[in-house]
Structure 1
């Protein structure tokens, strides 16, 4: 006697099989797949302890563009006042070695209170598979010499 396979079971089973074969996204530190709700703080490098509480990155997505890693991420303020900031990306190969270190210029940005800004970047080399974003505060006070 031939059993009839439930079509819903067949579709569900096929989806699981195809999902298991999907290639993971390899941007960021490590090669784990980036999913909604991930903690992206591992990509954000801040030397100022006060700034750590004021910034967060989220919604990191990546793709290959002519074999170069292209990133898009959101930098959001967790602070009520505007902030004058600078940022730059550092790129790393799969083993964690820097790729073209020091060649990424600092970019200025003004991030308003509780605001969100979308940042994009393109790796300088096809060897770049991971990244970190460095952010620093820019003093708005005049300096005396």
Structure 2
């Protein structure tokens, strides 16, 4: 009789382990849509707007959460860097903005600081607008787009 109990205990224990293993496997396979964590950055791991985030400068964190650069196109035009940047609003209401490009040389130094004027830009709810820029000199290697919100008191009559 003791042998029978031992056999019953042995047969029930492996089936419990099998059920636990199958349950764990199903739980893990259900999470396969989560991108893997690696040391590099793959395109699947980049949230919308993160890819070009180094080019967008917004000093208001609340406004920064409502904007991202969705695309950047560049070319050389008469030895000058020409940019077409797509600025996208993730906010459902209209944003009254101003923008200004800052241009940098290959060593990261600002070229012609403070000479570019602030330009107006209205982004309506969830809209993407193309923002053009032309470098002031052929020494430009990269850029940043500075964006600020126009306070309501300046556009209300």
Q: TM-score with structure 2 length normalisation?
A: 0.65
Q: TM-score with structure 1 length normalisation?
A: 0.71
Residue 61 (structure 1) shift? 1.2
Say whether residues 1:128 and 2:140 are aligned partners. Answer: yes
State the Cα RMSD in Å.
Answer: 1.8
Aligned partners of 1:100 and 1:121: how far apart in 2? 14
The SS at the match of 2:129 is: strand
Say whether residues 1:117 and 2:129 are aligned partners. Answer: yes
Say how many residue pairs are matched. 108
Residue 141 (structure 1) shift? 2.7
Say whether residues 1:100 and 2:106 are aligned partners. Answer: no
Identify the residue that residue 87 of structure 2 maps to in structure 1.
75
The runs of at least 4 aligned residues of structure 1 exceeding 2 Å deviation read: none
Larger Rg, first or second structure (1 or 2): 2
Please show how residues 1-145 of structure 1 align to structure 2 within 5 Å: 39-141=51-153
The SS at the match of 2:62 is: helix
* CA deviation profile, 1:112-140 (whole Å, cap 9, x unmatched): 01011001110000111100000000011
Q: Counting helix residues as a fraction of each chain, which structure ranks higher?
A: 2
The SS at the match of 1:114 is: coil
Aligned partners of 2:137 and 2:121: how far apart in 1? 25
The SS at the match of 1:141 is: helix
